[in-house]
Amino acid sequence: QEYTGIKLEIIQDEITKPASEKDTYDGVPVGDLLSKNINKFGGRKLYMVAATLRPETMYGQTNCFVGVDIEYGVYQVNDKECWICTERAAKNMAYQGLFEKRGEIIKLLDLKGSDLVGIPLKAPLTSYEKVYTLPMEGVSPKKGTGVVTSVPSDAPADYITLQDLKKKHEYYKIDLKWVEGFEPIPIIKTPNFGDLAAKTACENLKIRSQKDKQQLETAKEQVYKEGFYSGSLIVGKYAGKSVQEAKNIIKKEMVEEGLAITYCEPEGLVISRSG
Ligand code: ZZB
């Protein structure tokens, strides 16, 4: 399976500001563990690396998802960058030559998804200036990087999770500011599902929450098909092009500009979101 790894840059100023000025998640100042260990990163920029099969949808990112109980690491890439992902993904990356020494990982810090919730990020191509890291129940530690970038216009699970978080922000212990005002952005036009395909699919199938796993699988398949075979972009440099045409061009450009990487997962080890 070939994914595009999208680099979402952690806004460092927000991490290093005094704890008293920070939002909190579950009673802890946002990014507390990172800020306490900031010297370990040697001034390198920190990126969350999200695995996607839909690089052409990056215009529609509204947030980033992690699993709160998933274990992540901060991995040294070179003298300028550190990436945050699961250890499993970091090892795959090392074997693919994405780090300085092939086959070798340098882990600078262990952390859990809950240590990342609330962190603001700069995401490539989207029109939101900053997006927040939020909790999602269905994130698999065994797929991709364990980090998911959220495109609620075209990914049913992302759409319903964002709705869930807005409705039940207290239950999920998140600050309303992290979700309020983040609406799905129409980026791809389709003949049967309109320009917010994920919303249409969730409504058609009467999906109410992120716990409707089976229905979400069905919605995902429908939206993948509709987008891939009949969708065309309505935003960005390639507006007017079909999804099929634009997908690889956009991916290639993002990789060339250092905004993304190609990340491959060994076949046979891929476990679907439904487990
Ligand atoms: C952005 C995006 C936009 C995605 C879209 C999908 C869609 P699949 O098809 O099951 O292999 N994803 C990536 N990693 C994980 C993970 N560890 N746990 C849960 N979900 C994960 O799934 C690949 C997609 O699932 C990825 O592509 C990512 O979401 C998410 F408009 O990235 B995608 C109709 C789907 N549309």
Is 68 inside a domain boundary?
A: yes
The percentage of residues in the chain with a pLDDT greater than 70, rounded to a whole number, is 97
Q: Please give the structure tokens belonging to residue 199.
A: 């919303």
DSSP string, 16-56: HS-GGGS-EETTEETTHHHHHTGGGGTT-EEEEEEEES-GG
Statement: residue 274 has pLDDT above 90: no
What is the pLDDT at residue 268? 60
Kindly give the distance from the C-alpha atom of residue 52 to the centroid of ligand 1, in angstroms, as a whole number.
6
pLDDT at 163: 97
Q: Let me know if residue 170 belongs to a domain.
A: yes
Taking CA atoms, 153 is separated from 74, 167, 205, 214, 251, in Å, by: 30, 18, 16, 20, 19
pLDDT given for residue 226 in this prediction: 97
Average pLDDT over residues 194-218: 97
Residues with a CB atom less than 6 Å from ligand 1: 51-54, 57, 138-140, 143-144, 146, 148-149, 151, 154-155, 220, 223-224, 272-273
Residue 272 lies in a domain: no
Does residue 225 fall inside a structural domain?
yes
- Label the pairing between strands 147-150 and 120-122: unpaired
In a domain, 221, yes or no: yes
Question: Is beta strand 45-52 parallel, antiparallel or unpaired with respect to 63-66?
Answer: unpaired
ipTM of the complex: 0.98
Mean pLDDT for the stretch of residues 2-28: 96
Is a pLDDT exceeding 90 seen at residue 266? no
Kindly report, residue by residue over 13-23, the tens digit of the pLDDT. 999 999 999 99
Sign of the four-CA dihedral 218, 219, 222, 228: negative
Nearest protein Cα to ligand 1, atom 28: 52
Q: What is the mean pLDDT of residues 37-52?
A: 98
Q: From ligand 1's centre to the CA of 273, what distance in Å? A: 8
- Residue-by-residue DSSP string for the chain: -EEEEEEEEE-HHHHHS-GGGS-EETTEETTHHHHHTGGGGTT-EEEEEEEES-GGGGGG--EEEE-TT-EEEEEE-SSSEEEEE-HHHHHHHHHTT-SSSTT---EEEEEEGGGTTT-EEE-SS-S-S-EEEEE-TT--TTSTTSEEEE-TTT-HHHHHHHHHHHHTTTTTT--GGGTTT--PPP-EEBTTTBT-HHHHHHHHTT--STT-HHHHHHHHHHHHHHHHHH-EE-SSTTTTSBHHHHHHHHHHHHHHTTSEEEEE--TT----TT-
Pocket test for ligand 1, best of 49, 139, 143 (most atoms within 8 A of CB): 143
Into how many domains does the chain fold? 1
Residue nearest to ligand 1 atom 14, measured at CA = 144
Distance CA 93, CA 2 (A): 12
How confident is the model at residue 76, as a pLDDT?
98
Asked if residue 270 is part of any domain, the answer here is no
Q: What is the pLDDT of residue 166?
A: 97
pTM of the model: 0.96
Q: Whose CA is nearest to atom 31 of ligand 1?
A: 154
Query: Domain containing 82: what range?
Result: 2-264
Q: Which atom of ligand 1 is nearest to the CA of 144?
A: 14
pLDDT of residue 267: 74
Residue 271 forms part of a structural domain: no
Q: Is the pLDDT of residue 275 over 80?
A: no
On whether residue 208 sits in a domain, the answer given is yes
Q: How far is the CA of 227 from the centre of ligand 1 (A)?
A: 14
Domain holding 193: CATH number?
3.90.740.10
